[in-house]
Amino acid sequence: MQPKLKDVAKLAGVSVATVSRVINDRGYLSSGTKEKVYQAMRQLNYSPNSAARALRGKTFKLIGLIFASVENPLIAEAVQKIENQLFEGGYKAIICNSLDNPAKEQQYLKMLMANQVDGIITGSHNESLKEYKMSGLPIVSYDRYFPSPIPTVSCDNAAGGKLAANTLMDKGSEKLMLISGSLEKIPRNADRVAGFNQAVEAVGQKSTTVRLRFNDTPGIKRAMIRQQLSAYQPDGVFCTDDQTALLCLQEAKSLGMKVPDDLQVIGFDGSQYVQQYHPELSTIVQPIDDIVDLLVRILFNRLEQNDDQLLDRYVLPVSLLQRGSLRN
Amino acid sequence: MQPKLKDVAKLAGVSVATVSRVINDRGYLSSGTKEKVYQAMRQLNYSPNSAARALRGKTFKLIGLIFASVENPLIAEAVQKIENQLFEGGYKAIICNSLDNPAKEQQYLKMLMANQVDGIITGSHNESLKEYKMSGLPIVSYDRYFPSPIPTVSCDNAAGGKLAANTLMDKGSEKLMLISGSLEKIPRNADRVAGFNQAVEAVGQKSTTVRLRFNDTPGIKRAMIRQQLSAYQPDGVFCTDDQTALLCLQEAKSLGMKVPDDLQVIGFDGSQYVQQYHPELSTIVQPIDDIVDLLVRILFNRLEQNDDQLLDRYVLPVSLLQRGSLRN
DNA sequence: TTTTCATTTGAAAACCCTTACAATTTTCAT
DNA sequence: ATGAAAATTGTAAGGGTTTTCAAATGAAAA
């Protein structure tokens, strides 16, 4: 059995209240007792029962993380960094993979509330809007546009789409194709698509659009991409995420298209992983470090109610990472 | 404020004890009261305070997941699958990225115990052995060899190393190199290395070994690999993980070595990600689905004390995925 | 009718901690 | 030396739930 406050108190020869005070560094304490208590705690390898603390009004120091799938490199990176920062701040992270499934997301939400999490960082659907609102919890959203007052952080998806289009056209592509890696219902994606199309139309050009679904297997996606590539023979493709762009690159090559001479490709996300391990792929890079910093900062700000001036909506700039899949 | 048991009781016109009994389906209950209570719970959207429950001996239904880094595709995949299965079983997952840092791992362990997790699945160091033992918690380990009675699941690392060596030699490589992606202190890695070296020596061949460190940046790893490749000019390389193998492939190519003619490369892990998005890389594939199933099954078995006959040690077979980085 | 026993319910203790309050000791200005 | 204020410690209540125990009801058996 884990040692309790009482055990520590007995060993240190003080009352439980004193031990509690030492732990929470509260009120007056002589350095002598402090030392004795620390000693005893160390000796017993004591750590307070968080259930009991939570019951007495202290929080659990628990944050829910809801994302579509941690298998996506950018999300993995974000989760990793978020978890790190939370840990620094003394918080734990409960992980939830919604798989972009609204029902599952709703279940998660309910579970998180029942578990008294202190807050939620979500990068998933927002169909469960009611629940989010009702929860009364501090919530921060990544790349999903919640209505005020839920703060949202995202990169400038529209600008990214535009940048992709203009880059392709500047570098000589004329038959453009857009491959949307997941439903356009998701506003983030819709913005990337809209930004791209707008820029294309602005100069009187055209482009076809291919729509894949988030939950399609890579095999299915591959087949669809391959078919569209050979049917339409584009010379410039923008994919709304890097995974899709990688499939596109592969299929293009296996169709005998030369990259970047016959075909230029741009992806979106630019995780460290892709930057390191896919050196050919050009992509629109999200400033993921800044995004994570902001997400966590906003959350902490609400949790610790040190009311800094905070916006409801942060849009961070994207940048182009130009590599082999683009001409010089 | 969340509604409490008392609120439900008042609304249903019964005592708190009765409500609790309904929730836990315990003892005798008339169907009338049951219905009333359910009704009230629904009306108030009540869900029990898990802190209070935990205090009274119920478990939190919380599992700690300790891994080096969720940024590694294989780990991401494992975490994803584990989380899924836990969720099905009504459990939540707390995620811990130890970064292969024993101090951090120890902190996590302490934190998990303080948070009354019900069990732990760890794929990280085992330097904190004492803590693991002391915790008295159900623990299952992936790919780290804990002493009995902590059950350990892993793939056959030694056989994998051997398979890599024999494959390279069968396909004509004569100047072999082994690149160890992280410290050999980690037994998993040591086994891969040992298996490889054994197979090499068994036929009177030789190989050089390069040691990288887990926490080196990709840039540093890259530089070391490049230097060793050009210094030693191997014609067959086995890397103890896929990430390292990818770096090796890249550096080899940028040094002008032709793959697989001048140089054959084999990695280790074979995550879905690598299989899908790095179609050139040959690798030793871990049966990750089976591994995850087993990990979770063993854990549940201990949690729910339905004592199936279980071993302390499961070693699952690996397989070779042969692709472009190997000759036919 | 009385006795027995299964059912149904409620009152209250217990879980481990925090914190308001009270009690005691020390410090310091007068 | 005196009193007031500051510092230090302890006692006990309370937080939301589960669970033991006892009480109350009703039905069946004697």
Residue B324, pLDDT above cutoff 90: yes
Report pLDDT for A245.
97
**Residue whose pair of structure tokens reads 């009261």 in the numeric block:** B33
- B128 — pLDDT class (breaks 50, 70, 90): low
Most confident among A48-62, B136-150, B284-298 (mean pLDDT): B284-298
Q: What are phi and psi of A73, to 5 degrees?
A: -55, -40
A57 backbone φψ class: left, alpha, beta (φ>0; ψ -120 to 50): left
Order of strands across the sheet with B236-239? Answer: B207-211, B176-180, B236-239, B264-269, B282-285, B319-321
Residue B185, pLDDT above cutoff 70: no
Task: List the single residue in A with minimal CA-CA distance to B88.
Answer: A104
Q: Could you check: is the Cβ of residue B101 within 7 Å of any atom of nucleic acid strand C?
A: no
Write out chain A residues lying below 8 Å of B103, CB-based.
Answer: none
Looking at this protein, which amino acid is placed at residue A321? L
Q: Give the Cα separation of A135 and A129 in Å (integer).
A: 10
Q: Could you check: is the Cβ of residue B23 within 7 Å of any atom of nucleic acid strand D?
A: yes
| % of chain B beyond a pLDDT of 70 | 94
DSSP character string of A27-46: S---HHHHHHHHHHHHHHT-
CATH class of the domain defined by B157-287: alpha beta
Report pLDDT for A107.
84
In the CATH scheme, what is the code of domain A5-48?
1.10.260.40
Provide the residue-wise pLDDT of chain A in tens; the chain has 328 residues. Answer: 788 899 999 999 999 999 999 998 888 888 888 999 999 999 988 888 888 988 887 888 899 999 999 999 999 999 999 999 999 988 999 999 998 888 888 888 888 887 888 899 998 766 666 666 666 788 899 988 777 778 899 999 999 999 999 999 999 999 999 999 876 667 778 899 999 999 999 999 989 999 998 888 889 999 999 999 999 999 999 999 999 999 999 999 999 999 899 999 999 999 999 999 999 999 999 999 999 999 999 999 888 766 677 788 899 999 999 999 999 8
- Give the N- to C-terminal CA distance of chain A in Å, as an integer: 67
Task: Check B114 against A50: CB less than 8 A apart.
Answer: yes
Q: Give the Cα separation of A99 and A196 in Å (integer).
A: 26
Q: Give the Cα separation of B313 and B95 in Å (integer).
A: 24
In strand C, the nucleotides that come within 7 Å of a protein beta carbon are 7-12, 14-21
Task: Check A94 against B97: CB less than 8 A apart.
Answer: no
Pairing of β B319-321 and β B282-285: antiparallel
Residue B107, pLDDT above cutoff 90: no
Domain boundaries, chain B: 5-55, 62-155+288-316, 157-287
Q: Which helix (H) or strand (E) holds B237?
A: strand B236-239
Task: Check A243 against B277: CB less than 8 A apart.
Answer: yes
For residue A246, give how far its alpha carbon lies from the nearest alpha carbon of chain B (Å).
7
What CATH superfamily is the domain B5-55? lambda repressor-like DNA-binding domains (1.10.260.40)
Q: Give mean pLDDT, residues B223-242.
A: 95
CATH of the structural domain A157-286, one choice from 2.60.40.10, 2.40.160.20, 3.40.50.2300, 3.90.110.10? 3.40.50.2300
Cβ-contact B325, B260 below 8 angstroms? yes
Q: Give the Cα separation of B130 and B90 in Å (integer).
A: 29
> Which of A27-31, A185-189, B171-175, B296-300 has the least mean pLDDT?
A185-189
CATH topology of domain A62-154+288-316: Rossmann fold (3.40.50)
Residue B135, pLDDT above cutoff 70: no
Domains A5-48 and A157-286 in one fold? no
Angle at B52 between CA B50 and CA B56, to 5 degrees: 110
Helices and strands of chain A, counted as H and E runs: 13, 12
Report pLDDT for A108.
87
CATH topology of domain B62-155+288-316: Rossmann fold (3.40.50)
Of residues B75, B119, B130, the one with CA closest to residue B98 = B75
Of residues B124, B73, B123, the one with CA closest to residue B276 = B73
Which nucleotide is nearest to A12 if distance is taken from CA to C1'? Answer: D9
